Homo-oligomer: A and B are copies of this chain.
Amino acid sequence: MNPLDPQIEEAWYIACQSSELGKQPLKRRILGKSLVLFRDSQGNAGALVDRCIHRGIPLSKGCVKGNHIQCAYHGWEYDAAGHCKRVPALLTDPDVSARKIPAHALIEQQGFVWVYGVADQVPESKPWHFQYIDDPSYLTVVYEVRAPAGVHAIAENALDVPHTAFLHAGLFRNDAKRSRISCEVKRYVDRVQCQYIGEDRPEGLVGRILSPSGGEVTHFDRFYLPSIVEVEYSIGPENHIIINGACTPVGENDTRMFSVTALRTRLPGWLIRPFVMPLALRIFEQDRIILGLQTDTTADFGEPTYVSTDVDLVGPHILKLMNRAAKGQQVDANAEPWSTTIEMEV
């Protein structure tokens, strides 16, 4: 395994948006494993390993029949718990333990289908809850992106400030005009946060849309295990934007991110909305290309060799948290939160 791409198995990940799962079975890969999602006749969703136990055909190539998913080859049927309920032509009871397919715990909430990473296990944790998605005073925009990179690389990228002056030149910050700020980093057992103190209103298009009149800026970047990023800006008393990205490890160097942007601004939602997704997708397209290059280079050279500096504020901490979680290491809670303050020029 790539040491810079830890895979956390015992965790909830978004498999798809609720609207994507209709009458047809849906194949989704999570943590390199192929799953089939389907809804029974009552609309309840289930997630099974996507392989008929009989001859290995993906159940996602079959169809839903009542409360069961049916294999396309010999017509075997399974319920959402993975129990075999029918073997056509066979005269004996089909539902024996050798014919059980591993099933993944599944919770559908806030328009997302969350699946647990380990099969046949009752999770002790709950999926992430998006704080503002149901708040009518916020404009919310939901979209999904995918990048050829691991969760860590994507999370670090999403929360990194220095790259914005180069990769996204003209959108947030620029290289020429810089000012010194303080960054307070706090690492907890299950998350890391960075607060930026003394930051000006971001230059460029994004800043001007958020706050035409300027104003005091509060800016936090946060990462929550296993794979949630959060960027929070308050600009002046009226503007509040919180962007979450829930990352799903599809496989090695392949990640989906389900993003929920919640905005409360002095401008009406109908005016803001048309700008949010095009801008976000334009920014992510630049990130997606660079993340792909990062992945390609690691493949080219056989191993990644990253050298971090003080201004890699949160990436190394995300990696530490992810590695702990991937290995199931216990943390001395007394040592947390660990904190430091770094000065940098943005």
Residues of A that sit less than 8 Å from B by CB:
34, 50-51, 53-58, 61, 71-75, 87-92, 98-99, 160-163, 165-167, 175, 178, 180, 290, 293-294, 296-298, 300-301, 304-311, 343-346
Contact = CB atoms under 8 A, between A and B. Distances in A.
B162 A309 contact: no
A297 B58 contact: yes
A297 B165 CA distance: 45
Contacts of A180: 91
A74 B98 CA distance: 54
Contacts of A88: 162, 165-166, 175, 345
A161 B88 CA distance: 11
Contact of A56 (B51, B56, B166, B294): B294
Q: Which 8 A-B pairs have the closest CB atoms?
A: A75-B166, A89-B162, A56-B297, A89-B311, A89-B344, A53-B307, A74-B163, A90-B311
30 contacts: A34-B297, A34-B300, A50-B297, A51-B301, A54-B307, A55-B294, A56-B293, A56-B306, A57-B293, A57-B294, A57-B297, A58-B293, A73-B290, A74-B160, A74-B162, A75-B162, A75-B163, A75-B166, A75-B175, A87-B309, A88-B162, A88-B165, A88-B175, A89-B178, A89-B311, A89-B346, A90-B309, A91-B343, A91-B345, A92-B309
Q: Is the interface of A mostly helix, strand, loop or mixed?
A: loop
A147 to B, nearest CB: 14
Instruction: Find the residue from A92, A293, A310 having the highest chain B CB count within 10 A.
Output: A293
Number of copies: 3
Q: Which of A72, A92, A296 has the most CB of B within 10 A?
A: A72
Contacts of A296: 58
Contact of A307 (B72, B98, B165, B344): B98
A321 to B, nearest CB: 19
Contacts of A301: 34, 51, 56
Contact of A87 (B89, B305, B311): B311
Given A293-B57, A297-B58, A167 B73 contact: yes
Contacts of A58: 293, 296-297
User: Which of A75, A89, A294, A344 is the most central at the interface, judged by chain B CB atoms within 10 Å of its CB?
Assistant: A89
A94 to B, nearest CB: 8
